[in-house]
Structure 1
Amino acid sequence: MQVRPNSLSVETGQYSSAGRKAQNQDFHGAMVPDGQALLHKGVALAIADGISSSPVAHVAAETAVKSFLSDYYCTSEAWSVKTAATRVIAATNSWLNSQTRLAGDRDLGHVCTFSALVLKGRKAHLFHVGDSRIWRLDGQSLDQLTEDHTVRISETESYLGRALGMSASMEIDYAALDLRAGDVFLLTTDGVHGFLSPKQLATTVLTSDDLDAAAKALADQALAAGSDDNLTVQIVRVDAVAEPSAAELLSEEGMLPPAPVPHVPGHFEGFHLLRQLHASSRSHIFLAENGATGDRVALKFPSMDLRGDADYLRRFALEEWVARRISSPHVLKAASYPSDREILFLATEFVEGQTLRQWMTDNPAPDLETARDILEQIVRGLGAFHRKDMVHQDLRPENIMIDASGTVKIIDFGSVRIAGVMEAAPALDTPEILGTHQYTAPEVFLGYLGTEFSDQFSLGVIAYEMLTGRLPYGANVARATSERAQSALRYRSAAAITERVPDWVDSALCKAVHPVPGKRYDVLSAFLADLRRPNPTFASDRFVPLAERDPVGFWQLVSAGLALLCFVLFYQLLGNP
């Protein structure tokens, strides 16, 4: 196939036959899209082999392959390959298993092996369950990349330990490999690889320029070697692997030149500019009216100082991409434009209210219930990001708005990490610290990429600051750039700062901002639950040192002790001239 420059280019070959059997219970398929589908989803191949004991196994195999190839391309392009593929496979397994339960016998049900290969960007993603196989040609040899899920009873007897449709929950093997131009992958069912050696498979592929002919030749060789099963072979050769350009990655928006900062009052691209709302070294924001609809919107313009920074402009353009893919009352929405843009600027809904930072200034001692209400709304907004495989990475009071009705909205998407997009362009996925240091998780300072646990840390810091007016580690997190330094971080009890924070709430805050990501909450809902009621796993009588509970009193006591010691020593000196 011919693909435009700067994109993945592959050739495929496929063949399937019933062999000596009356019915072909294997099924296979491949999708090699073009345009944005190729960029965001990549090339996908899948192969399935129905169990021979079931009269409907061919239906299971066909369903598994067709569902994967159709549904995978319908998932959000923000999702990573792993997230998209595993969710599609899990849904297919659930349906197949429901049909198997209706049959009442696994050997008569909708059960099949399944292997899929997705090539995207510079990675090959493998998904596998059963005893079909995925191979990679490495020089003159063939490497098996999957492990058969078979249980051997004897030299002649074995059975499948894992397969689609076998059980309600199914574990599927996943692996990701670096992709190189010239790579060749094979997908085979056991009717082929059970009768041909890896060397025979490799030799046939290496000596053939026509991949369809090579696939048929392998099936014919297996049949001649005595195969009594169905025979299916898929071959894919990678002709080119290239990084997509920024323009391709961001569609047409990435090619637009940055807009100049306008003057107010005035008209700009169909908008009537009313006044400036905000200005910083990174952007300028104006209140405006859409000339076509009359709707009030916020217009965001790139910084004059950074318009020569390509990475900054890519992230600026991605902000709208993010906003248009998240639907939540707690996340800022993208707005429409009166006409097509010819320069780069962003239009979003206008939130009439105040930032959480201003709210915290106006309400320095909020009651616990008010703080919980705000945090719960933030979590609902964060959940919308995380469900799309996005990490906000810059959650802080300045990036949270509260409107006149009390609705909380997360704004500013310039630091969002989008798993699906970063897979398509891994060069953009760097461990650069994009968030504000006081709210950035400790692991990011060690060079790790942001995750949902990093967002949880930022949320925990915000919760702590709302209730105490302080930060749980002060400014020490940004200075702790080694694991040793981070192990020395000490959480300061919120309950010691204010009586408005009960010990059990303090324990929840401590867990959410733990320096080690694995010791934080598995899900944000658990954090909210522990803010609502005491968690019995937290010791209610947890010992808190006096230095943490009352630092001033601690040092007063130390000073008094030292004074007493000095007095005793002085008295002894007087008594022993």
Structure 2
Amino acid sequence: MPRTLKISVGQFSDKGRKDTNQDFHGVLIPEEPLLGLKGIAVVLADGISSSTFGRVAAESAVKGFLTDYYCTSESWSVKTSAQRVLEATNSWLHAQTRRSQNPYDKDKGYVCTLSAMVIRSTTAHLFHVGDSRIYRVSGSSLEQLTNDHRVVISSEQSYLGRALGVNPQLEIDYQNFRLERGDIFLLVTDGIYEHVPPRQLARTILDAAADLDKAAKSIVAQAFEHGSQDNLTAQIIRIDELPDGDAREVFGQGTELPLPPLLEARMRFDGYRVVRELHGSSRSHIYLAVDEESGTTVAIKIPSIDLRDDPAYLKRFMMEEWVARRIDSPHVLKPWLPQRRRNFLYVTTEYIDGQTLRQWMIDNPAPDLEIVRDITEQIARGLRAFHRKEMLHQDVRPDNIMIDRTGTVKIIDFGSTRISGVTDAAPSGAEDILGTQQYTAPEYFCGERGSVRSDLFSLGVITYQMLTGRLPYGAQIARARTRSDFNRLVYGPATHSGRDIPTWVDGALERAVHPNPLKRYDSFSEFLFDLRNPNAKYLTTSSTPLIERNPVLFWKSTTLLLALVIIVLLAYGAHHFR
């Protein structure tokens, strides 16, 4: 039986010698599938003692994190999810202070420290602001994992340099690391670590390993006995079991279903009546069908016959539906989700009555610039929907784009999509290159991770191809594999295609498909703006200097010229001194 994530928890909090306890803490261990999708959250907050609202701030921060973190998109990375939640909490706390009787006195505002740990799959993610601490038990002592954001003025005077609610903007420390079975972590407020030595804390935890609640109470009691004047809170977390398998199993569940047979026209299959095959390739088989229950025309996609023995392919196949369920855009293919039980491994989607962009380009070899702009903008809107969910499509090409009879453009086929939430849960080395060479950004072939600029590269290539009927680097790019290979690529100006393309549009295209991602546009909006509005940098008709277009050729030519000069000078000298 596969193992799942399991932890043991011990925690205790006490007001100590103070009248009220302004510390607040919590742990949330969700059931599956949230356990696999979002992980376990552990949070500790300490309200500042100078404010009567410290307790409110700490409680709001902890409860808000434990509630809102699990409401964030499942496709987001832990870092993005937690930071969005903490930024929202910070804004709310700061706004509450500004509405209070002392709007400009931070010492009397809604302010607290916060240390949080999210344990997801086999990785720990730490978020920290203020002077609470997170330790890891290391042998017979403790390893401090967080830095104190406390500014010391003298031995008797200091203040918090960073905390939740102090400023409108929040700067929070983040780190992540791999977990090992048996790892033990301790979260404590300053009322404890300032009075109990690290070795004594570690010994207390190890001596009471069978009862972590007892260990937490003992730590609080020791701090009190050693004279602590502050509130006292301790949380102990031990990793008992780590999950097996690939994180994709959580995101793309269903691979245990039997594989379907090849379908045929008029065949009845799992509540559908098959009309005909729409498309067949080495990646999948797609059929037009009618849902017999609702009468809706749909598309059924079944796994490729050639790849059915490849577990990684089958997981990616099921991930397609997972992705489609979470993206809501008129420019992205929608899933069809009937209520009845599914008996085979397949995906159903809306049926798009139209043609692929590849066929459209064949039918429209010399399209108007405005039509190309419109198609490019629609593709960009679809890709933005992916990016908002922290997903990269990674296989944007004419075959994966459909245009229906109303002119609406839709992105299809999500088998290559990279989801931050998946790679975040199971980080690995080099990833498989799943896209098509002519449209895939060069950084993938250089072993680098993709970004929004990678999808932008693919969109730029498609836009260039619609306008010119060819690819920006011709056949050269098919042979490139290393960074030096890509640096030697020579861009073929769109203005040389024999079509009436403005120089400034060509300049925008050249920047969008630059082999170096750092030299591309930062965002789709910049690229789309430059496709419609002349950028002064691209209005000149002078050609790009050779040293910028092809630096290798420039230096080779320069070296050859210098060699010829030297030969001429030597010949002249030999003749002159005879």
How high is the TM-score relative to the length of structure 2? 0.90
User: How far is the alpha carbon of 1:264 from its aligned partner?
Assistant: 1.0
In the TM superposition, residue 412 of structure 1 has moved relative to its aligned partner by 0.4
Q: Deviations over 1:371-420 (max 9, x none)?
A: 11111111111111111111111110100001011100000011111121
Distance 1:519 1:151 in 2: 40
Superposition pairs of residues 508-519 of structure 1, within 5 angstroms: 508-519=508-519
**1:254 maps onto 2:251 in alignment:** no
Higher alpha-carbon deviation: 534-543 or 262-271: 534-543
Which of 6, 10, 16 matches 2:13?
Answer: 16
Gaps of 5+ in 1: 550-577
Which residue pairs with 1:423 in the alignment?
424
- Give the Cα separation in 1 of the matches to 2:140 and 2:250: 36
1:29 aligns with 2:42: no
Distance 1:294 1:201, change over 3 A: same
SS of alignment partner, residue 307 of structure 2: coil
Q: Secondary structure at the match of 1:29?
A: strand
Q: Residue 393 of structure 1 corresponds to which residue in structure 2?
A: 394
Shift in CA distance, 154/461, structure 1 to aligned 2, threshold 3 Å: same
Q: Does the 8 A contact of 1:8 with 1:121 survive in 2? A: yes
**Corresponding residue of 2:311:** 310
Q: Which residue of 1 aligns with 2:69?
A: 72
CA drift at 1:498: 4.6
Structure 1 residues 128-152: Cα deviation after superposition (integer angstroms, max 9, x where no partner): 1111111112223311111111222
Q: Does 1:42 align with 2:33?
A: no
Measure how far apart 1:251 and its partner are: 6.3
Paired residue for 2:162? 162
Does the residue aligned with 1:20 lie in a helix, a strand or coil?
Answer: coil
Structure 1 residues 404 and 503, CA gap change in structure 2 (3 angstroms)? same
The equivalent residue for 1:558 is none
Residue 138 of structure 1 aligns to which amino acid in structure 2?
S
Give the Å deviation of 1:483.
2.5
Q: Which moved more, 1:533-542 or 1:227-236?
A: 533-542
Contact 1:129-1:163 at 8 Å conserved across structures? yes
Correspondence for 1:217: 218
Distance, in Å, in 2 between the alignment partners of 1:540 and 1:167 is: 46
Deviations along 1:430-483, one digit per CA (max 9) or x if unpaired, are: 510001111111110012233322111111111111112222222333433222
| SS of structure 1 residue aligned to 2:142 | strand
* Deviation at residue 78 of structure 1 after TM alignment: 1.2
Mapped partners of 1:166, 1:247: distance in 2: 39
SS at match of 1:317: helix
Deviation of the 1:225 alpha carbon: 1.9
3-state SS of 1:7 partner: coil
Alpha-carbon distance between aligned partners in 1 of 2:538 and 2:149, rounded to the nearest angstrom: 41
**Which stretch shows the higher mean deviation, 350-359 or 487-496?**
487-496
- Which whole-Å CA distance do the structure 2 matches of 1:9 and 1:450 have between them? 33
1:312-334 deviation digits (Å, cap 9, x = unpaired): 11111111111111111000000
Alpha-carbon distance in structure 1 between the residues aligned to 2:541 and 2:152: 54
CA distance in structure 1 between the aligned counterparts of 2:416 and 2:159, rounded to whole angstroms: 50
**1:439 alignment partner, SS class:** coil
Q: Name 2:270's counterpart in structure 1.
A: 269
User: C-alpha separation between the residues in 2 aligned to 1:218 and 1:307?
Assistant: 56
Letter matched to residue 123 of structure 2: K
Partner-residue secondary structure (3-state), 1:255: coil
Equivalent AA in structure 1 for residue 399 of structure 2: E
User: Residues 10 and 240 of structure 1 are in contact (CA less than 8 Å); yes or no, is this contact kept in structure 2?
Assistant: yes
Q: Pick the aligned partner of 1:99 from 96, 100, 124.
A: 96
Task: Map residues 533-548 of structure 1 onto 2, 5 A cutoff.
Answer: 533-536=533-536, 540=540, 543-544=543-544
Q: Which residue of structure 2 lines up, in the alignment, with residue 196 of structure 1? A: 196
The secondary structure found in structure 2 opposite 1:438 is: coil
Match of 1:128 in 2: 128
- CA 1:297–1:56 in 2, change beyond 3 Å: closer, same or farther? same
One-letter amino acid of the structure 2 residue matched with residue 373 of structure 1:
D
The offset of 1:519, in angstroms, is 2.6
Answer with 181-190 or 395-404: which moved more. 181-190
Determine the structure 2 residue equivalent to 1:6. 3
Question: Partner residue of 1:346?
Answer: 347
| TM-score (norm: length of structure 1) | 0.90
Q: In structure 2, what is the equivalent of residue 146 of structure 1?
A: 146
- Name the SS of the counterpart of 2:326 in structure 1: coil
In structure 2, C-alpha distance between the alignment counterparts of 1:548 and 1:451, rounded to whole Å: 24
Q: Deviations over 1:524-547 (max 9, x none)?
A: 222212222133465746643599
Distance 1:113 1:541, change over 3 A: farther
1:319 aligns with 2:320: yes
SS for the counterpart of 1:253 is: coil
2:469 maps to 469
Give yes or no for contact 1:246–1:254 (8 Å, CA) kept in 2.
no
Alignment check: 8 A CA contact 1:121 1:425 kept: yes
Map 1:524-535 onto structure 2 (within 5 A).
Answer: 524-535=524-535
Match of 1:380, SS state, is helix
1:147 aligned counterpart, secondary structure: coil
CA distance in structure 1 between the aligned counterparts of 2:541 and 2:91, rounded to whole angstroms: 46
Q: Percent identity?
A: 57
CA gap of 1:313–1:246, structure 2 versus 1, over 3 A, is: farther
Q: Aligned-residue CA RMSD in angstroms?
A: 2.1
Residues 394-543 of structure 1 aligned to structure 2 (within 5 Å): 394-426=395-427, 431-498=431-498, 500-536=500-536, 540=540, 543=543
Distance 1:481-1:229 versus aligned 2 partners, 3 A rule: same
Q: Which residue of 1 aligns with 2:554?
A: none
Aligned residues: 545
SS in structure 2 opposite 1:186?
strand
8 Å contact from structure 1 (residues 400, 408) kept in 2: yes
Amino acid at match of 1:456: L
